[in-house]
Every structure is written in C-alpha cells, then in structure tokens.
C-alpha cells in the first residue's frame, strides 16, 4: 500500500514513537525557518513562501499535536507520564496552537517590509511559537527516550 500523501490521510495513520520523532524533525526545521524569518525582519519573504510557512504551522498544530498526545498517552504504565504531566503537555500544545493560529493570521495579513513596531510584534509572535514548540519537543522526546531505554512500546 502506498504511503498517505495528504494531511487528512496522515491523520488517519496510527502514530508510533517513530512517527513522532519524524514529526519532530519536520517541526525543528519549521522552527529554524521561523527563527530565520524573525531574525530577518522587517523584510518578509515572498507571499508564496509565507503561505507555505503558514501551511506548515497549521500542519503541526492540527496533526502532530494530537498524534503526539496519543502516542505518549499509550506508553506502557511504567514509562507513561502521569496524568498531571500529560495534562501539562496538552496545555503546552493548546498554547502553542493558539500562538500558531495568531501567527498564521498575522503572517497572512502582511506583505512587504514592516514598520518597526509591527516587525517587533511579529518577531515576538514568531518566537513565542517556535520556543514553545521546541520546549514541547524536548519534553516529549525525554519521555520517548525513557520508554526506549526501558525497551517498551506503546500499548
């Protein structure tokens, strides 16, 4: 069977720890691209590049967050984070999703060089999103690494 190619099909694939680690590679690349965008402000890339960045942000917030939470929640009891830690991850993802939605809206509303005040605001929004994503990646990967060290797989 061929691998799924669109986001709606990918959401149907049962995720594994390997899926999440692959997602994290993609997410890290997005974070680097967003950081480069923040560092280059007030200049903005062409509108087609902005649309691609927006689609990548939306993909992370709509597909990855949900499947990462499913994988972590299915880790065997000995390796699974407790309920409070899982709730904390859901809160991190909710905050990152809100930042992502705000960021996508802000990016889609801007074309061309930005006034300094708007550049500062957009830089802050970009950093909120990619810093939050990097924190969540580190947390999830610590749990997945602990599960691998214990040589366990999700239920």
The answer as to whether 92 is a domain residue is yes
The answer as to whether 2 is a domain residue is no
The answer as to whether 50 is a domain residue is yes
The answer as to whether 10 is a domain residue is no
The answer as to whether 53 is a domain residue is yes
Mean pLDDT of the chain: 89
Query: Which domain, by its residues, includes 71?
Result: 16-149
Q: Output the CA torsion sign for 77, 10, 22, 98.
A: negative
pLDDT in tens, 85-116: 999 999 999 999 999 999 999 998 876 667 77
The answer as to whether 83 is a domain residue is yes
Per-residue pLDDT at 1: 38
Q: For the chain, how many structural domains are there in total?
A: 1
DSSP secondary structure letter of residue 75: S
pLDDT at 119 over 70: yes
Torsion of CA 81, 83, 84, 89, to 10 degrees: 60
Label residue 137 by pLDDT band (50, 70, 90).
very high
Per-residue pLDDT at 19: 94
- Match 């300094």 to its residue by tokens: 116
Per-residue pLDDT at 39: 96
pLDDT in tens, 50-80: 999 999 999 999 999 999 999 999 998 888 9
Joined tokens for residue 47: 């509108």
Label residue 2 by pLDDT band (50, 70, 90).
very low
The answer as to whether 111 is a domain residue is yes
Per-residue pLDDT at 121: 93
The answer as to whether 87 is a domain residue is yes
pLDDT at 15 over 70: yes
Per-residue pLDDT at 76: 85
Per-residue pLDDT at 6: 54
């Amino acid at each position: 069977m061929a691998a799924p190619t669109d986001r709606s099909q990918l959401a149907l694939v049962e995720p594994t720890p390997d899926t999440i680690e692959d997602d994290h590679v993609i997410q890290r690349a997005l974070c680097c691209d967003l950081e480069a965008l923040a560092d280059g402000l007030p200049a903005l890339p062409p509108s087609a590049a902005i649309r691609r960045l927006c689609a990548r942000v939306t993909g992370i917030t709509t597909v990855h967050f949900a499947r990462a939470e499913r994988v972590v929640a299915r880790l065997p009891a000995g390796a699974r984070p407790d309920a409070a830690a899982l709730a904390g991850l859901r809160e991190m993802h909710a905050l990152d999703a809100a930042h992502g939605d705000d960021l996508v809206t802000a990016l889609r509303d801007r074309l061309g060089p930005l006034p300094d005040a708007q550049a500062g605001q957009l830089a802050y929004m970009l950093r909120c999103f990619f810093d939050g994503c990097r924190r969540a990646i580190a947390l999830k990967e610590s749990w997945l690494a602990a599960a691998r060290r214990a040589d366990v797989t999700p239920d």
